[in-house]
Amino acid sequence: MELTWDRCRLGMHRATADGITVAQVAQVIGPGGTDCGWMVWLHGRPDAFPDRYPTMEDAMRVVEANILDPLGGPDDVTPEP
Tens digits of per-residue pLDDT, 30-80? 889 888 888 888 887 766 776 788 888 988 888 888 887 655 444 443 333
| Residue scoring higher pLDDT (81 or 49) | 49
pLDDT of residue 6: 93
Q: Give buried/exposed letters for 6-38 (b at 16+ CB in 10 A, else e).
A: eeeeeeebbbeeeeeebbbbbbeeeeeeeeeeb
pLDDT of residue 51: 74
Express each pLDDT in 66-80 by its tens digit: 887 655 444 443 333
pLDDT of residue 14: 94
